């Protein structure tokens, strides 16, 4: 049985379809229709709700896409929807500001925006312009052109009085504590099951016994199987409640990232070490997705257009796979074998990712190329990690997404660079060598010719950025 707070109301669910999304639960089961379905694919943000989660004595609030979240993820948490914000007849500051600034026209995206704004208010007391953009980049509005919504987000901060969630904090913390279960909760509708293991050990045992079960962390990709491709998932194992797998540890020589750590958590750890990784994660889907999605999931779904693998490969990251009590560790680049085929064996799961710390002389850059700056899938993603000393390239690791059936290193290109002089001629030769590394495909995102040309041009950008540091080279830097 899962137990959670629907705002302040205790909900206990045992006999329920584990494939049900939080959105369908709200609109169908709970008859709370304030939360809207705009796409059921996590791309529009109309269904945004906020999850409150214990973090010591605090409650951490995160915006998520309710359309991509299976209900087992709610266990032990507080679910806050747009209906919960108003106190009696008084609108919440996030709501009042939207009214005052004319931020709501047709109103269908509005509940989602309000919830993203509410979450921002809970997480950031003095947001910059960039922070506001980041918080709202996963919400689409077709009516306003966004300006009044940004104004509303700024105005929301003028009301500094604690809201009912602040005032009820102690009580909510106590209630959430009481909900935490030691035993592994389980829900089923009789034919489909979902389990929430509490430890890696429990997970290993459970997965060994049920190797056909689907592991779900954020669910931001897996849920599409249900909402878009209409497949039933008979057995789900939710790994988002396993504290060990959400850990992020920084050692002297490496950073270890639990496979179930959210991309948002990884963002904070990786940005300090590799600013460009941060810039990439900033454009990785939307905040709602990053709040749910994980590095483990982004690797495990083995998409050729996942944004984190090329960066991790360029940084020489290792992946740790676990099977029962056994683990094995190997370079991430060897994990990807062919389109959607990986080195992972049945019963094995990704436990963690290990990223070596930045070395002196290494210059890591990642460049995402897409039709839209916010929340888009890369046409090409190029990640470059060169070690340059005394005008000579000592080492080069380059990986691309969107250029092959898997995230892949550019070995011919690297071979030209390694040991060569750091100059324009070398870069031109390296660009030509890319043709030997990749034969990309054409699709609705881009033609193969465009992918090839843009990929090569990214090397030019890398060169210019390192040579002429005063020059602005990225349109996304203009905010």
Partner 1 sequence: MSNHHKNKKSYDEMLAEAKNDLTTGVGRSVKHESAAKQVSGEAVYVDDRLEFPNQLHVYARLSDRAHARITKIDTTPCYDFPGVAIAITAKDVPGQLDIGAVLPGDPLLADDVVEFYGQPVVAVAANDHETARKAAMAAVIEYEDLTPILDVEEALAKEHYVSEPHTHKRGDSSEALATAPHKVTGAVHIGGQEHFYLETQISSVIPTEDGGMIVYTSSQNPTEVQKLVAEVLGVSFNKIQIDMRRMGGGFGGKETQAAGPACIAAVVAHHTGRPTKMRLPRMEDMVMTGKRHPFFNQYEVGFDDEGRINGYEVKLAGDCGYSPDLSNSIVDRAMFHSDNGYYLGDATVTGYRCKTHKVSNTAYRGFGGPQGLIMPEIILDDIARQLGKDPLDVRKTNLYGGEGRDTTHYYQKVEDNALPDMIADLEESSEYRKRREEIRAFNASSPILKKGLALTPVKFGISFTATFLNQAGALVHIYTDGSIHLNHGGTEMGQGLNTKVAQIVAEEFQVDFDTIHITATDTDKVPNTSPTAASSGADLNGKAAQNAARTIKQRLVEFAARHYQVTEEDVRFQNNYVLIRDEILPFAEFIELAYFNQISLSSTGFYRTPKIYYDRDNARGRPFYYYAYGAACSEVIVDTLTGEYKILQADILHDVGASLNPAIDIGQVEGAFVQGAGWLTSEELVWNDKGRLMTSGPASYKIPAISDMPVKFNTRLVENRKNAEDTVFHSKAVGEPPFMLGISVFCAIKDAIASVSDYRISPAIDAPATPERVLWAIETLKQQSKTEAKATSTETI
Positions in 15-34 near partner 1 (CB under 8 A) = 27, 31-34
Is the alpha carbon torsion for 169, 173, 175, 179 positive or negative?
positive
Per-residue binding letters, 354-373, with partner 1 (x by CB under 8 A)? -------------x-xxxxx
**Interface positions, 172-191, toward partner 1 (CB under 8 A):** none
Is residue 367 packed enough to be buried (19+ CB in 10 Å), middle (13-18) or exposed (0-12)?
Answer: buried
Question: Residue 435, interface with partner 1 (CB under 8 A)?
Answer: no
Stretch that binds partner 1, among 104-112, 165-173, 199-207, 246-254 (CB under 8 A): 104-112
Q: Enter the tokens of residue 62.
A: 């995160």
- Asked if 251 and 282 count as a contact pair (C-beta separation under 8 A), the reply is no
Question: Residue 476, interface with partner 1 (CB under 8 A)?
Answer: yes
Q: In this chain, which of 225, 234, 374, 428 binds partner 1, going by CB under 8 A?
A: 374
Q: How far is the CB of 245 from partner 1 (least distance, A)?
A: 27
Q: In this chain, which of 8, 105, 184, 247 binds partner 1, going by CB under 8 A?
A: 105
Q: Which is nearer to partner 1, 241 or 465 (CB)?
A: 465
How many residues sit close enough to partner 1 to count as binding (CB under 8 A)? 88
Backbone Cα Rg of the chain: 23
Question: Residue 43, interface with partner 1 (CB under 8 A)?
Answer: yes
Q: Which is nearer to partner 1, 48 or 235 (CB)?
A: 48
d(CA 418, CA 304): 26
- Asked if 76 and 180 count as a contact pair (C-beta separation under 8 A), the reply is yes
**Interface positions, 379-408, toward partner 1 (CB under 8 A):** 379-380
Q: In this chain, which of 16, 23, 44, 248 binds partner 1, going by CB under 8 A?
A: 44
Q: Enter the tokens of residue 476.
A: 């996304």
What spatial distance separates the first Cα and last Cα of the chain, rounded to whole Å? 46
Q: How far is the CB of 53 from partner 1 (least distance, A)?
A: 22
Question: Residue 425, interface with partner 1 (CB under 8 A)?
Answer: no
Q: Please spell the DSSP secondary structure of 40-72, one letter per residue.
A: SSSSS-TTEEEEEEEETTEEEEEEEEGGG-BGG
Is residue 321 packed enough to be buried (19+ CB in 10 Å), middle (13-18) or exposed (0-12)?
Answer: buried
**CB atoms inside a 10 Å sphere around CB 442:** 11
Q: Which is nearer to partner 1, 58 or 159 (CB)?
A: 159
Stretch that binds partner 1, among 38-46, 159-167, 180-188, 271-279 (CB under 8 A): 38-46
- Asked if 272 and 355 count as a contact pair (C-beta separation under 8 A), the reply is no
**Interface positions, 111-140, toward partner 1 (CB under 8 A):** 111, 114, 133, 136-137, 139-140
Q: Which runs of consecutive H residues, i.e. helices, occur in 60-163?
A: 93-100, 110-123, 129-136, 147-156
């Amino acid at each position: 049985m899962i137990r959670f707070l629907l705002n302040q109301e205790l909900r206990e669910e045992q006999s329920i379809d584990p494939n049900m999304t939080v959105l369908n639960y709200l609109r169908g089961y709970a008859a709370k229709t304030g939360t809207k379905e705009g796409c059921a694919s996590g791309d529009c943000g109309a269904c945004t709700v906020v999850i409150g989660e214990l973090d010591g004595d605090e409650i951490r609030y995160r915006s998520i896409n309710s359309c991509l979240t299976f209900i087992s993820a709610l266990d032990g948490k507080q679910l806050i929807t747009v209906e919960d914000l108003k106190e009696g007849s008084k609108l919440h500051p996030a709501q009042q500001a939207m009214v005052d600034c004319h931020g709501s026209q047709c109103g269908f995206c509005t509940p989602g925006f309000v919830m993203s704004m509410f979450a921002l208010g809970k997480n950031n007391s003095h947001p910059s312009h960039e922070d506001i953009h980041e918080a709202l980049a996963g919400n689409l509005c077709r009516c306003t052109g966004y300006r009044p919504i940004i104004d509303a987000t700024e105005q929301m901060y003028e009301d500094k009085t604690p809201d009912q969630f602040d005032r009820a904090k102690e009580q909510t913390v106590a209630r959430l504590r009481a909900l935490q279960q030691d035993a592994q909760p389980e829900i089923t509708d009789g034919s489909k099951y979902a389990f929430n293991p509490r430890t890696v050990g429990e997970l290993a045992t459970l997965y060994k016994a049920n190797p056909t079960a689907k592991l779900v962390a954020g669910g931001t990709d897996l849920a599409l199987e249900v909402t878009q491709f209409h497949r039933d998932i008979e057995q789900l194992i939710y790994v988002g409640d396993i504290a060990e797998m959400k850990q992020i540890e920084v050692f002297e020589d490496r950073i270890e990232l639990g496979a179930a750590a959210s991309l948002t958590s990884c963002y904070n750890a990786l940005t300090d070490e590799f600013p460009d990784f941060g810039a990439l994660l900033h454009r990785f889907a939307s905040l709602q997705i990053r709040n749910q999605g994980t590095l483990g999931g982004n690797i495990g779904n083995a998409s050729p257009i996942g944004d984190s693998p090329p960066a991790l490969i360029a940084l020489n990251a290792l992946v740790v796979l676990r099977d029962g009590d056994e683990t094995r560790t190997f370079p991430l680049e060897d994990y990807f074998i062919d389109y959607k085929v990986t080195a992972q064996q049945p019963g094995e799961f990704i436990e963690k990712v290990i990223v070596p710390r930045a070395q002196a002389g290494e210059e890591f850059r990642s460049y995402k190329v897409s039709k839209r700056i916010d929340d888009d899938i890369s046409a090409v993603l190029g990640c470059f990690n060169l070690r340059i000393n005394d005008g000579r390239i000592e080492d080069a690791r380059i990986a691309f997404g969107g250029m092959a059936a898997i995230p892949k290193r550019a070995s011919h290109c690297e071979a030209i660079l390694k040991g060569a002089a750091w100059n324009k001629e070398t870069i031109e030769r390296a660009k030509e060598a890319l043709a030997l590394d990749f034969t990309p495909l054409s699709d609705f995102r881009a033609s193969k010719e465009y992918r090839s040309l843009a990929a090569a041009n990214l090397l030019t950008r890398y060169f210019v950025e390192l040579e002429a540091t005063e020059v602005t080279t990225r349109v996304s830097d203009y905010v």
